[in-house]
Amino acid sequence: MSKLEAFIKEYQEKFIKTTPLFDENLLGLLQKAKYILLDEKMSASMQLEEALTKLQQRAKEPMKVAITGQFSSGKSTFLNALLSKNILPTGITPVTSKVNYIRYADELKIRVCYKDGVDEYHNVEEIAKFTDQRGDVEEIEYLTLYAPLEILKDIVFVDTPGLNSNSNADTSVTQQVLKEVDGIIWLSLIDNAGKMSEARVLEQYLCEYQNKSLCVLNQKDKFTQEQVSQTLEYVKKSFAQFFSEVIPISAIQALESRSHDKNVLVNEALEQFLTALKQKLNPLHVKEEEKKILDEYALYKEEVEKILKSDLSQNMHLLAESNIQAVLDFIYTQIRPQALSAKEYAIKKELKTICIKLQEQYGIFLTIHEELKAELRSFESEAQERFSELKRKFAKDLKEAYAKIEQLIETIANNIYSHIDSQNRLRYVLKKSSLFQKSEVYEAIEYKAPKIDSDAIYKELFYDDELVNKMFKKYVKHLKDIQDEVNENNAEVFEMLKKRIRKWQNPYELVRKPKKLYSDIEFANIRKFASKAYENILKPFSDEIHASYAKISSEFNHLSSAVSFNYQNATEVSVAFLEKKIEKSIELYVQNPTRFSLYQPKLEDIKERLSRSFHLYELQNYMSTNNTFLNKNYDRLMDEFAKIAAQREEFIEKRESRYRKIIEMLKEFEEEI
């Protein structure tokens, strides 16, 4: 392998996750389910992991067959016969007060599972004290009997309390078991079979399980063949809607046949030998124990040889008479195929349900995000409309503010114009010389020249009456009112969004998963996402509003200062300009009155000069056109809000895309199931 190939292989192993191959059977499907549904990106809950593990265990489990019936129908005896071992207690009182699962294990023992979750293991000899309803068994949930019997590798038997026990709780537990198991064996005594009391119980509890139920009529050994046949025919006809088959048996004969079975006897002898061996082992007295062990082994061999030499032909006869094999045949040929098919169907159905529930979970997340997007879109539309309204409103207000400046200028202009008077002045003209004149003679000519009384203007405008001061203070206050109103209205637009987002946020800050299988982490992420609505959604809008506030305030301050801090200087500059122009005209007039005339300021000239000094044309563009600073600000605000809304929506959609990918993956796996 080259260095490049080795590098590629290392990279693939480290960074590229390849999907493993799974067997094309039920266990393979469940392994794939775990691989997909428990992947890190799914943030699976413990409950989901437990559910998938239980499905795996269920797939591996043998079929379950429940044994039920009315009081004193001999369920425990029948089970002992099926197991070929007397390990369940029997008696006239309904001793099985708890569900008892009988499973395979390497050694004989019982597990007692209590309602508080505590488990205890005991010797099988103690089983009676945990199953007898006369004892203190209230806190026990269920029992599991483990036995090293070959039949239990294929079947888990469920010994139930029965359906007509004295306890309603026992009956309820049995009903639940019947729903869960693969097969049901209804045990009835031949002399009780078909009675109305039994029919009522069957009608109430077994009418929906006909396809997986077998009726076993016990104690056939107590009746003639003719009686058994008559009862069998009657039960098959009367209870056809409850059972797939009806089989008469003798549990006692089956047990007795086992007492003549060489294999059973040899195994029992071996068990006795091993039990004795364990009891006698003492590491402190090895020599003494060794002789005892050899003696026990000799007795065991002798017992085995005796069994093997004995005539056990009666075993086959009793076994055939008991008809117990027919029950086993029904289990293996009827219940088992249905159980395997039903189990696969049920597990696949459960897997599909899990996939659907997880799709619903991510559907909830999509809905939450879609609601947020809807709020953003609705706000964006509302904000654009509101900003447009404000733009029109404040454009009008700015024009009115500009008109006030024009009024101020007109007031000042009128004042200046009213203080333009005339004064008598002399100009000297050289007289025509005569023959007798020895020197030049000048003639004084009086004329009236315009004069601006600047002192009176300043006194009236700025000092005594403070006419202009008052007008400019009103102007500045008017501008400040517009500024405050603009910023308040802009802030209200942001408040509109804040209310929408808070309304969306409130239920999701505290949201909890509604179903156990849902992801705790994913719902915690939703809570975190909702709690950070300001950072995730609102902050960029808030920043833009604050930036707009600062810019608008600066522009209004500029407007105020451009006029209010400059009006006296602008007036003085205008007056000085007019005075200079008058003086210049006088100078030119004196020099050549025929060519130049005296400059007499008109009101319009004064206004024009003041407009220039006040930079009125710049202010007009700034305040009274379609290109005012406020119009530009609102255009920018609308544009920025639209951009931010689009960015926030894109941010939300990135989150949604993850959910959509997971939903698509879940749908594909659901279809594969």
- At 102 the pLDDT is 92
332 in any annotated domain = no
The whole-number average pLDDT for the span 630-659 is 96
Instruction: Flag whether 10 is in a domain.
Output: no
Q: Give residue 290's pLDDT band: very low, low, confident or very high (50, 70, 90).
A: low
User: Angle 174-175-177 (CA atoms, 0-180°, nearest 5)?
Assistant: 65
Domain assignment present for 555: yes
Task: Compute the average pLDDT of residues 106-132.
Answer: 85
What value does the mean pLDDT take over residues 484-491?
Answer: 95
pLDDT for 96 beyond 60: no
Distance in angstroms (rounded) separating the CA atoms of residues 469 and 480: 16
pLDDT tier, 111 (very low <50, low <70, confident <90, very high otherwise)? very high
Residue from 438, 363, 238 nearest 667 by CA: 363
Indicate whether 38 belongs to any domain: yes
Tracing tokens 């078991």 back to the chain, one arrives at 177
**Helix (H/G/I), strand (E/B), else coil: 495:** helix
In sequence order, which residues have a C-beta less than 8 Å from that of residue 393 and are 6 or more positions away?
Answer: none
Q: What per-residue confidence (pLDDT) applies to 568?
A: 86
> Which amino acid is residue 656, in one-letter code?
E
- Tell me: the pLDDT tens digits for 552-596? 999 999 888 877 777 888 899 999 999 999 999 999 999 898 899
Taking the C-alpha atoms of residue 632 and residue 653, their distance in angstroms, rounded to an integer, is 31
Q: Residue 154: helix, strand or coil by DSSP?
A: coil
Report the C-alpha gap between 623 and 559 in whole angstroms. Answer: 9
Measured between alpha carbons, how far is 158 from 100 in angstroms, rounded to an integer? 6
- Residue 92 clears pLDDT 80, i.e. is over it: no
Of the pLDDT bands very low, low, confident and very high (cuts 50, 70, 90), residue 199 is confident
Buried b (16+ CB within 10 A) or exposed e, 500-510: bbeebbeebee
CATH number (domain holding residue 159): 3.40.50.300
Query: Rounded distance, CA 412 to CA 467, Å?
Result: 9
Q: Whole-angstrom Cα distance, residue 70 to residue 498?
A: 69
Give the N- to C-terminal CA distance of the chain in Å, as an integer. 40
Query: In terms of pTM, does the model score above 0.75?
Result: no
| C-alpha dist (Å) from residue 174 to 55, 161, 518 | 22, 7, 31
Q: Are 504 and 633 within one domain?
A: yes
Residue 327 lies in a domain: no
Alpha-carbon distance of 568 to 416, in angstroms, equals 13
Compute the average pLDDT of residues 428-437.
70
Q: Retrieve residue 557's tokens.
A: 């301050």
d(CA 509, CA 369): 13
Give the residue with greater pLDDT, 204 vs 514: 514
Give pLDDT, residue 275: 60
Cα distance between residue 96 and residue 112, in whole Å: 14
Q: What is the mean pLDDT of residues 208-224?
A: 89
Residue 254 within any structural domain of the chain: yes
Average pLDDT over residues 61-78: 82
Are 130 and 220 contained in the same domain? yes
| CB of 349 closer than 8 Å to CB of 614 | no
Check if the beta carbon of residue 168 is closer than 8 Å to that of residue 120: no
Output DSSP code: residue 152: G
Look at residue 6 and tell me if it is in a domain: no
Q: Which of 249-263, 301-315, 438-452 has the highest mean pLDDT?
A: 438-452
pLDDT at position 311: 54
Q: Which of 8-22, 60-74, 255-269 has the lowest mean pLDDT?
A: 255-269
Q: Do 214 and 113 reside in the same domain of the chain?
A: yes
Q: In the predicted model, what is the mean pLDDT of residues 443-472?
A: 86
| Residue from 476, 492, 624 nearest 560 by CA | 476
CA distance 131 to 89: 8
Asked if residue 260 has pLDDT above 50, the reply is no
Residue 157 bridge partners (DSSP): 65, 102
Q: CB 415: neighbour CB atoms within 10 A?
A: 19
Residue 125 pLDDT > 60: yes
CA distances from 39 to 46, 345, 515 (A): 13, 25, 19
| DSSP letter for each residue of 333-400 | IIIHHHHHHHHHHHHHHHHHHHHHHHHHHHHHHHHHHHHHHHHHHHHHHHHHHHHHHHHHHHHHHHHH
For residues 83 and 30, state if they share a domain. no
Pairing of strands 245-248, 213-218: parallel
Q: How far apart are CA 232 and CA 229, in angstroms?
A: 5
Cα 120 to chain centroid, rounded: 40
Asked if 393 and 463 sit in the same domain, the reply is yes
Residue 287's pLDDT is what? 58
Query: What stretches of 31-108 adopt beta strand conformation (E)?
Result: 63-69, 100-104
The per-residue pLDDT of the chain, averaged, comes to 85
Give the CA radius of gyration of the chain: 54
- Are 269 and 213 found together in one domain? no
**What range defines the domain where residue 222 resides?**
61-261+318-322
- Asked if 415 and 368 sit in the same domain, the reply is yes
Residue with more model confidence, 360 or 297? 360
Residue 443 has what pLDDT?
Answer: 82
Bridge partners, residue 67, by sequence? 159, 185
Indicate whether 541 pLDDT > 70. yes
Please check the confidence at residue 93 and state whether its pLDDT lies above 50. no
Whether the pLDDT of residue 505 is over 80: the answer is: yes
Report for 240-249, 350-359, 421-430, 444-453: range of highest mean pLDDT: 350-359
Which pLDDT score is estimated for 314?
65
**Are 276 and 239 in a shared domain?**
no
For 452, the enclosing helix (H) or strand (E) is strand 442-452
Element at 13 (helix H, strand E): helix 3-15
pLDDT of residue 349: 93
Question: Given this model, what pLDDT does residue 18 score?
Answer: 66
Sequence-separated (6 or more) residues with CB below 8 Å from residue 600? 420, 450
**Number of compact structural domains in the chain:** 4
- For 102, phi then psi, to 5°, come to -110, 110
Beta carbons of 100 and 130 less than 8 angstroms apart? no
- Is 1 contained in some domain? no
Q: What percent of the chain has pLDDT over 70?
A: 84
Q: Could you tell me the sign of the dihedral formed by the alpha carbons of 130, 134, 140, 145, in that order? A: positive
Looking at the structure, tell me whether residues 267 and 378 fall in a common domain.
Answer: no
Name the one residue in this structure whose structure tokens are 């799709």. Answer: 359
**The pLDDT of residue 539 is above 90:** yes
Share above pLDDT 90 across residues of the chain, in percent, rounded to a whole number: 45
Q: Is the domain of 592 the same as that of 494?
A: yes
User: Do 413 and 283 sit in the same domain of this protein?
Assistant: no
Residues 298 and 151 in one domain: no
Per-residue pLDDT band for 616 (boundaries 50, 70, 90) equals confident
